[in-house]
Structure 1
Amino acid sequence: MKITTWNINGIRARIEGAIAYVREARPDVLCLQEIKTVDEGFPTEAFADLGYNVATHGQKGFNGVALLALHPLDDVRRGLPGDDGDAQARYIEASVTAGSLSARVASIYLPNGNPVGSEKFPYKLAWMQRLAAHATALLASEMPVVLAGDLNVIPEPADAKRPDAWRNDALFQPESRAAFRALGNLGYLDAVRACHPGPGHYTFWDYQAGAWQKDDGIRIDFQLLSPQAADRLTAAGIDRFTRSWEKPSDHAPVWTTLEPRL
């Protein structure tokens, strides 16, 4: 099972690139973030023509997440538990079965949290606490779980070309990084870091100041695997070539492959 996550930064603005990528990469499951449309505005038919089932949790103008799969999407959950008053569309999960392998996959767009001194930063940290609580609950199923998406955290200095430039940013605050580590302490494995240790592996390059041309990037998109999923991990990577396309997203797709146990 190949699972890919991609912050598309507006599905309607980047539909041509999204379709081209899906045709080339052909993931079994594609997790999208920042679709920036209501459910009815998502180009479902374009992906259905390629054989994909689609589930969305959209929002007008911003946020929004989606799951696309070559297999049925079962038991779809929209919204992160723990706060019924949270209207932001940032979380969707479903079960997917490909052959003999079944997994619970989530597409996540974690709050940015900037500026740090505003109400947005406490919202980010509270959201991460809710995510940790739900991630704990998912472990109880003993089913392979993949938490995929734009988590808006730079976990370590090695995850930024210029870490000092991010010292005052919500993505690199000690509280944000500690909340990310808490997911690892639960037993979730950072798939890309497990397969590619060391610096230089980025998933986001700003549109400004020639960041892409300078490879001035950060790693903020992840696939976090439960122990049952980690046991099946065979490869992971970043398809950074998409960042050089015409009218690209500022994020690159992150993928993993899981194989059934023999």
Structure 2
Amino acid sequence: MKLATYNVNGVNGRLPVLLRWLTERQPDVVCLQELKAPDERFPIDAIRNLGYDAVWYGQKSWNGVAILSRVGDIHETRRGLPGDPDPAHSRYLEAAVAGIIVGCLYLPNGNPRPGPKFDYKLRWFEAFARHAADLHAQGLPIALVGDYNVMPTALDVYKPERWQEDALFAPEVRDAFARLVGQGWTDALRTLHPGETVYTFFDYFRNAYARNAGLRIDHILLSPQLAPRLRQAEVDLEVRGWEKTSDHCPVWAELADA
């Protein structure tokens, strides 16, 4: 099974890019972030025409997450993060699909730091870590997938010295990610690419994509019951070069059958 995450940065504005990627790459289960659309404007017909079903949790202008599948029914198990400090934001969706539990998340950006947005990011991260621990304790095959807005280490950011004051690279945020992974989750991309420079995001400014000046902020974390099935993990870098594309690249992990 090919499990993917893609921050589309506006599902309707980037719909041709999303549909092209789904057609060419044919991932089996996909988590989308930053839909930037209310529920009634999610393009379900176009997605179903490609053979996918979907569940989604939208929000006008901001946020929004969705789970797509072409390999079986999607059974939604949770809409919204337990203990979310601002539940008006559509940032978490969870479902059982193809024999695994998939948590799709869009963690807050947190800038500017310091300030209320950074405080909210830390509170959201704490709530998410508590929920992740509860999931982990269930002993099921689980994947926590999405845009974490965290560069875990200096290897995950171009010129880390320039990001010392940014909320995505703050020590508190990196420590929170390390504690999360320390619960027993496997970072799929980093596990199969140790020591390599791998980026998933390139800013629209300063010709970042052409210069390979990127960040690794989109992650796929696997529970101990799912991690042994990990066979491959990659970034579809070329999608970032398509016309009218997102500033994120799709990231995917290939899992062997149970």
TM range (shorter): over 0.9
Whole-Å separation in 1 of the counterparts to 2:47 and 2:138: 30
Report the counterpart of residue 151 of structure 1 in structure 2. Answer: 148
**Cα distance, 1:76 vs. partner?**
3.2
**How large is the Cα RMSD of the aligned pairs?**
1.0
Q: Conserved in 1, the CA contact under 8 Å of 2:85 and 2:123?
A: no
SS at match of 2:168: helix
The correspondence for 1:115, drawn from 91, 112, 115, is 112
Report the counterpart of residue 160 of structure 1 in structure 2. Answer: 157
Whole-Å separation in 2 of the counterparts to 1:75 and 1:153: 26
Report the counterpart of residue 186 of structure 1 in structure 2. Answer: 183
Please identify runs of 4+ aligned residues in structure 1 that moved more than 4 A. Answer: none
Q: Does 1:69 align with 2:69?
A: yes
**Cα distance, 1:197 vs. partner?**
1.2
Aligned length: 257
Q: Does 1:234 align with 2:231?
A: yes
Whole-Å separation in 2 of the counterparts to 1:13 and 1:196: 32
Q: Which amino acid counterpart does residue 159 of structure 1 have in structure 2?
A: D
Relative distance call for 1:138 and 1:91 in structure 2 (3 A) is same
After superposition, give the CA deviation of every residue in 1:44-67 in whole Å (9 maximum; x if it has no partner): 000111111110110000100001
Report the counterpart of residue 12 of structure 1 in structure 2. Answer: 12
Report the counterpart of residue 219 of structure 2 in structure 1. Answer: 222
**Cα distance, 1:118 vs. partner?**
1.2
Identity of aligned residues (%): 47
Whole-Å separation in 2 of the counterparts to 1:143 and 1:53: 23
Structure 1 gaps of 5+ residues are none
Report the counterpart of residue 37 of structure 1 in structure 2. Answer: 37
Q: Does 1:51 align with 2:29?
A: no
Report the counterpart of residue 87 of structure 1 in structure 2. Answer: 88
Relative distance call for 1:7 and 1:85 in structure 2 (3 A) is closer
After superposition, give the CA deviation of every residue in 1:203-258 in whole Å (9 maximum; x if it has no partner): 00000011111110010000011111101111111011100100110000110011
SS at match of 2:181: helix
**Cα distance, 1:84 vs. partner?**
7.1
